[in-house]
């Protein structure tokens, strides 16, 4: 079935680089190890709380800066984060093509407000999407089925009318259980083939 909506992941799909570049820049500027950065930025309970809106910017970044033992401000870290991202022009074109064909476009992301705000200020990317669902606004994260149900409701479509790829297999499994056309992201060519199949 041809999808009536296509949902995009941000890191590694819409944005060609981001997290990896940010980690690299933190290593260069502050002499941190990749393990130390990931322990705070990707794996900590504090980041989960940040992404689900339980704690705010100052709480998370003061914890991160203190844990890393670096001399930096929250604003400096967020500026470094924003400059680490680059849009994938082929994905931007694909979204434009889909919209021309009458296919809705959406984002469903585990994220925190300052990253989305900084990237939207730089790229104005939110205007490319009909629906934008974030963990920090909903208070739940992928792969929780409820966030995907919210996504379908906002799109006004049944799950089987929606196609979504994700780089995390556990998210794809959760989507498939709900009936979404879901697959693990394996590069732009594969993604384009599946969207146009």
Listed by start position, the domains of the chain span 5-17+85-196, 19-82
Nearest to 87 by CA among 184, 10, 167, 168: 10
* pLDDT tens track for 151-169: 999 999 999 999 999 989 9
pTM: 0.93
Location of structure tokens 């730089």: 122
* pLDDT tens track for 83-114: 999 999 999 999 999 999 999 999 999 999 99
- How does residue 196 score in pLDDT terms, banded at 50, 70 and 90? confident
Phi and psi dihedrals of 194, rounded to 5? Answer: -70, -40
Nearest to 174 by CA among 149, 131, 145: 145
* pLDDT tens track for 14-48: 998 899 999 999 999 999 999 999 999 999 999 99
CATH 3.40.50.1000 is held by the domain 5-17+85-196: yes
**Which helix (H) or strand (E) element contains residue 142?**
none
CATH 1.10.150 is held by the domain 19-82: yes
Q: pLDDT > 90: what percent of the chain?
A: 88
d(CA 153, CA 41): 31
- For the record, the structure tokens of 35 come out as 């393990």
């Amino acid at each position: 079935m041809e999808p009536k909506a296509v949902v995009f992941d941000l890191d590694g799909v819409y944005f060609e680089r981001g997290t990896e570049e940010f980690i690299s820049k933190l290593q260069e500027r502050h002499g941190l190890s990749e393990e130390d950065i990931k322990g705070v930025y990707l794996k900590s309970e504090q980041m989960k709380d940040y992404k689900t809106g339980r704690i705010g910017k100052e709480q998370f970044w003061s914890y991160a800066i203190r844990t890393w033992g670096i001399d930096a401000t929250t604003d400096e870290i967020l500026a470094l984060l924003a400059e680490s991202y680059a849009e994938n022009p082929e994905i931007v074109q694909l979204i434009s093509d889909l919209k021309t064909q009458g296919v809705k476009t959406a984002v469903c992301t585990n994220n925190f407000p300052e990253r989305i705000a900084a990237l939207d200020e730089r790229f104005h990317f939110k205007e490319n999407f009909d629906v934008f669902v974030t963990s920090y606004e909903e208070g739940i994260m992928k792969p929780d089925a409820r966030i995907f149900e919210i996504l379908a409701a906002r799109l006004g479509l049944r799950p089987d009318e929606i196609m979504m790829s994700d780089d995390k297999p556990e998210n794809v499994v959760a989507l498939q259980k709900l009936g979404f056309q879901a697959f693990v992201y394996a590069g732009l060519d594969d993604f384009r083939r599946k969207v146009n199949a």
